Structures are given as C-alpha cells and as structure tokens.
Amino acid sequence: MQHGEYATYVIQRCRCAECKAASAAYARERYRLQAYGRWQPFADAEAVRIHVLNLRRYISYDAIAALAKVSARSIDLLVYGEGGSTGSARIRTEPARRLLALTIDLDTLPDDTRINVAGSRRRLQALMLRGWPMPLVAARCDVPRWQLDRVLNKAMILRAYQARAIRDVTALLFDQDPPRTNRGERHAASVVRNRARRSGWMPLAAWDDIDDPDAEPDLGATVSRAQAVTEDAEFLARQGFTPDQVAERLQISRGYLQTARARAAASA
C-alpha cells in the first residue's frame, strides 16, 4: 500500500498528511453519495474474483495488489475468505473497481514485476527451433545468457523487463536464420535445432496466445516429413534458390531431397 490511499489510513493507521487527505476525500464522497441515496460500499465479489484468478495466471497476487493499489488483505479475503477455503461474497466497491480495471500489458508493467515464464520460454524455444543458439540471442538483447538458460530450463517467473527483452529479440530474429558463414556456426545451429526438435518445441505460429500458460499448441494438419521437405523446397525454389542451395538451407542432401519429392508425389 502507498501513502495517499484510504486503505493505508485504515489498515496501517498511517496519519501522514497524504493519508489524512485521502481519508477526508473518502468521507466527503461517502456523505455525498449517501445524500443522493447512491451509497453502495460493497459489490458482489464473484466477477472480481474470477478476474483476479485470471490475472494470477500471469502475475502474483502481490503484484496484482500493487498494480491495482489495493491491500494484499483485500486479495486474501477475495480469494480465500476468512477461513481460507471460500472467498468472500462481497468486496468494497472501490477495490472492486480498481481490480476489474487492471489488465496485463507487458509494455506498461514496472520492470521488476514478476510474471509467468511461459510466454518467454516458448519464444526462446521457437528461436532454438530456428537454429538460434542462446549466446547469439543474449548478444542481441539485455538479458545475460545464464538468465536465458534459466528461462529455458527451470525458472517459473521472470521480471517484466526480461520478458520485454525476450519478446523484442524474438520479433527481431524469428524470421531470420542464424549466421552460418563457417563450419562452427553451421554446427552450432544444427545442434540447437536438433535439440529443439527432440524436445518437441513449437514454432511461434503454433500458439494462438503464446503468453497464456494454459494454451495448447496447434500445428494444423499433420504432414509427413517428405511432404514438409517438399513444400519447403518448393517455397525456396520460388525465391530463386538453386537445388544445391535448397538442400543446404534445409540441411539435407540433394539425394534425400529427390527422395522426399518422390515420396510426396506418390502419396498425393
């Protein structure tokens, strides 16, 4: 809670000038609404609770309380109630209004806000599926390589500024191939891509809402490897690549490319 809030005046018993002014403003508003017969200090809690539980999928309860400028106690009562098993049936109108107005916008979240790692992890996985090693990704954003490794492997949360950096670098790199100017770079890209494939990681296009922790990937209709190779080869050929260049881009031999085309034609 912050100074200048009515909740700070009541719950923390702060009597600074700002909190006293907030208490006086609250009292004036209450008297005014009472005079007009419109005083409704409480609202039904169910819609607010559902909204807060949805927000909780992305950020912590503490972050929700801080961003909505309500007390953590209000969140506890809303979700768990007095006994810790059933949420409260009513909530004060002003906290309800603030909570319902709260939405998750990564661009406006304070840098240190802790958020769910799901979207950032999926973005890094998609980059690795493209062949991008983490050292090259780290070199292009403001997140150290060791932190990217934690996001990929075991972290459950990360800071908002890190999520923004990962989102921005993904937008920059997702449609580009990593450098492959020498044998070492080609080997590194191949190792990363093979790891991603073995792990079953998904491209960005597989996610309708990549930041939703409960989202399931959707790749559309399943096609055989021969069909996929043939479609990719035809796309590259239309861009002017020679058969040798197509095979190199797809990291296959020309012989396998011919075999894949024959198998795809036979199954058509």
Longest dimension (CA), the chain: 86
pLDDT in tens, 51-101: 888 889 899 889 999 898 888 888 888 888 776 667 777 788 888 888 888
The C-alpha atoms of residue 160 and residue 59 are separated, in whole angstroms, by 10
pLDDT given at position 145: 93
Grade residue 220 by pLDDT with cuts at 50, 70 and 90: low
Domain map of the chain by residue range?
Answer: 6-101, 116-206, 225-267
Q: How many percent of the chain have pLDDT more than 90?
A: 32
The pTM of the whole model exceeds 0.85: no
CB of 112 within 8 A of CB of 163?
Answer: no
Tokens for 119, please give them: 């979207």
